[in-house]
Amino acid sequence: MKYDVIIIGSGLGGLECGVLLAQCGKSVLVLERQKQAGGCMQSYRRRDSYYDTGLHYVGGLGKGQSLYGAFKALGLLELPWVKLDEQAFDRIMIGERNFCFSQGYDNFTDTLAAEFPSQRKALAAYADLLKNSDEHQLDSLIPLGDGEEDNGAAKRLFDEQFSSGAYRYLCDNFSDPLLVEVLAGASLKMDLDKDSIPLFTFLHGNSGFIQSSWRLCGDGNMLVNALVRKIEYYGGKVQCDTEIKELLEVDGRITEAVASNGERFSADVFISDAHPAVTCSMVSSSALMKNIYKRRIASLENSVGMFTASIKLKPKSVKYFNFNQFIYRDEKVWDLQNSADSVNGVLVCCRPESRRTSSGGTVVDEWTRHIELLTPMPWDLLRQWENTRVGQRGEGYLSLKKKFTNDCIELAERFLPDLRSSISEIYTSTPLSYRDYNLSPNGCAYGIKKNFKAPMLTVLSPKTPVPNLLMTGQSLMLHGLHGVTMTSLFTCAEILGKEKVWNLINL
């Protein structure tokens, strides 16, 4: 059978593209190398519990906000979302002080201005910049789209914010150095490198959450399964345990995807949700994708990886907290990734658990059973095991994971003093885990590192040199759930046209 579109990889971007294209009448096949769909959005099972790999919280799901239209079209608003504490959805503990991020741009300004009264004017200007990035998010990404539309305002915004460093902006606009650290305190969900991160990336990585922040009452498979069901509802198919090893090009177009077992799949258009370097490696012989292009993509620096400790708690030992707690040892948030062999910052978040009421309804339980601790983990720490396989890395690797686990728990106990005694089970992952399961080079958590010094090299278009081979995913424009969703819209727009996609999400 020949399909209209074959999508390689069932991460969030691949599944979202699958839903939107199938919904518009395209015959769609999604091929996944693992035994279950979802990529970094999937949950894994240990004993009787599921643990998340990449879904922690989501921003901008309120009506009229940045993700509302897309999630409505994708059928994801129907999931049981829990809105986080409006007055303090993110809490930033630096040393002994705790600072709060509030939902809503005015509330965000007022809450921080209460701690930094001399910085109110600068905070208000920063909040306006965040708001502007939300209101013009699609327009600002047009320079990375099809390039046919002359949108001077969008290009100016793109050039200005992608070629400016976030750290430099904060230092130039805030005279209090502690506030410069605090404003970056919720940024463990991005590659926070002060020497490279563009202002554009920093704004988009924070703004949606300030609009509104939400957690899923359940594990990440709920989101993955909802997207898979949507694809199947519209006549598409998701096929797992199928690893694509080669994309065959004939007369300047990809004609077939060849699996490791020799099975072949034909389509008019191919979309790769794999890392761009992995995508290029699949095109073994091409008249259009030159080796110089492949080498350029392969040479791009990747973002930092993450260490995760997924904890199952003893029953009724820790109450559910409706916010995220970021904890830092000292006032050096921007230098966190330079702490190569120690944990100096950690994100502590928990999962809301639902329970049935006596009247038959469902409410969020007073207690949580799952907590996750996340911290950056440089690849250099893992290089000695880069040629090993899962379960065969030896005592040195296990010792490193144990050290990071203990360091994370030590920091987390500044917020949860009895955490260690409340632990029932604990499972850990490193960038090596991400690499092995998701084929992400160096186990990068956020794809290709964006660099304001070279924006046009590090921020990629969905297009490739082969006209019917497109890409999607967090390595292209923006990372994170929000960024991947925006990128999937642009990938689909290359097939359906921008007007049809924009109308589909009612933006």
pLDDT digits (tens, 9 = 90+) for 123-168: 999 999 999 887 666 655 665 554 445 556 666 666 778 889 999 9
Arithmetic mean of pLDDT over the chain: 92
Sequence spans of domains, the chain: 2-78+219-301+454-504, 109-214, 303-441
Instruction: Compute the distance between CA of residue 397 and CA of residue 392 in angstroms, rounded to an integer.
Output: 9
- Residues with Cβ within 8 Å of 148's Cβ and at least 6 positions away in sequence, in order, are none
Closest of 80, 82, 58, 87 to residue 70, by C-alpha: 58
Instruction: Compute the distance between CA of residue 344 and CA of residue 452 in angstroms, rounded to an integer.
Output: 26
What is the reported pLDDT for 55? Answer: 82
CA quadruple 132, 134, 136, 140: dihedral sign = positive
Q: Is the pLDDT of residue 375 over 80?
A: yes
> How many of the other CB atoms lie within 10 Å of CB of 124?
16
What is the reported pLDDT for 308? Answer: 95
- Residues with Cβ within 8 Å of 360's Cβ and at least 6 positions away in sequence, in order, are none
Tokens of 293: 């292009």
What is the reported pLDDT for 154? Answer: 61
**Neighbouring-strand partners of residue 282:** none
Mean pLDDT confidence for 430-442: 91
pLDDT digits (tens, 9 = 90+) for 44-71: 888 888 888 878 899 999 999 999 999 9
> How many of the other CB atoms lie within 10 Å of CB of 421?
9
What is the reported pLDDT for 153? Answer: 62
pTM score of the predicted model? 0.94
Tokens of 126: 């920063």
Q: Is the Cβ–Cβ distance between 161 and 179 less than 8 Å? A: no
Between 187 and 112, where is the model more confident? 112
Instruction: Compute the distance between CA of residue 198 and CA of residue 457 in angstroms, rounded to an integer.
Output: 13
Instruction: Compute the distance between CA of residue 201 and CA of residue 40 in angstroms, rounded to an integer.
Output: 20
Distances (CA, A) of 341 to 267, 388, 435: 47, 21, 20
What is the reported pLDDT for 310? Answer: 96
pLDDT digits (tens, 9 = 90+) for 340-358: 678 999 999 999 988 766 6
Q: Is the Cβ–Cβ distance between 198 and 192 less than 8 Å? A: no
What fold does the segment set 2-78+219-301+454-504 form as a domain? FAD/NAD(P)-binding domain (3.50.50)
